[in-house]
């Protein structure tokens, strides 16, 4: 899959909005509907990627807290 410039722009806006709105699906729907990308293959692929990234970040946060007694928000 080779994304177009419009899709890349929408994805970057989605990531930016995802930092402001939780859950990230709200941000995705807002941005992708603006760019008419909801329900497309691009939508499914990028949602899967972002979901996995957030999941991994949660696991890393847990490990930092439990094993190293470090609060991830302070990093």
Does residue 45 surpass a pLDDT of 90?
Answer: yes
Alpha-helix residue ranges (DSSP H) falling in 1-75: 5-18, 24-34, 41-68
The CA distance from 46 to 27, in Å, is 13
The string of pLDDT tens digits covering residues 18-44 is 989 888 899 999 999 999 999 999 999
Radius of gyration of the chain (CA): 15
Query: Where do the domains of the chain lie, and which CATH numbers do they carry?
Result: 5-74 (1.10.940.10)
Q: Are 41 and 47 in contact (CB under 8 A)?
A: no
């Amino acid at each position: 899959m080779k994304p177009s410039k419009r899709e890349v722009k929408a994805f970057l806006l989605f990531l930016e909005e995802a930092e402001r709105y939780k859950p990230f699906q709200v941000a995705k729907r807002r941005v992708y509907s603006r760019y008419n990308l909801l329900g497309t293959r691009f939508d499914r692929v990028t949602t899967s990627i972002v979901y996995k990234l957030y999941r991994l970040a949660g696991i890393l946060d847990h490990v930092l807290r439990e094993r190293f007694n470090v609060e991830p928000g302070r990093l």
